[in-house]
Amino acid sequence: MLYAENGLQGLKTLEKEPIDCMFLDISMPVMNGIEVLEAIRHDEKLKDLPTMMISGVASKEVIMQLVELKVFDYILKPLLKQETVPRIQNFMEYVEKHKNRKKSALSSTIIF
């Protein structure tokens, strides 16, 4: 598992390390999560990277923008175990299927 402290650091990590999936917050210093997701979706190698957003931002406009950017799921903070665990499990099942479908040697998850 890899961690990045801000969006720009996360993008630099993505350039160097192959990953299976990404958990991303919207509110980050240097480069916010929406900017990171836009950059990923415009990168030919990363455009299909499974991404889950976990954030305290509840704006309908932001959520619609994330849907357009093909985010897998969006979990609103504060996290409630009974809601969060099944959604993360569903995401990880999708990641495994996605990885097997691509038959790639991806090995990590990045969280920032």
| Res 24: pLDDT | 94
Output the CA torsion sign for 93, 11, 108, 56: negative
| Res 39: pLDDT | 97
| Res 99: pLDDT | 81
Average pLDDT, the chain: 89
**CATH number for the 2-111 domain, one of 3.40.640.10, 2.60.90.10, 3.90.660.10, 3.40.50.2300?**
3.40.50.2300
- Give the pLDDT confidence of 88-108 residue by residue, as tens digits: 999 999 999 888 776 554 455
Q: 111 by DSSP, 3-state: which?
A: strand
* CA distance between the termini of the chain: 11
Closest to 52 in 3D by CA, of 6, 81, 90, 82: 90
| Res 103: pLDDT | 56
DSSP 8-state assignment for residue 56: S
Closest to 51 in 3D by CA, of 60, 59, 68, 102: 68
Would you kindly state where each structural domain of the chain is located, as residue ranges? 2-111
pLDDT at 109 over 70: no
pLDDT at 83 over 70: yes
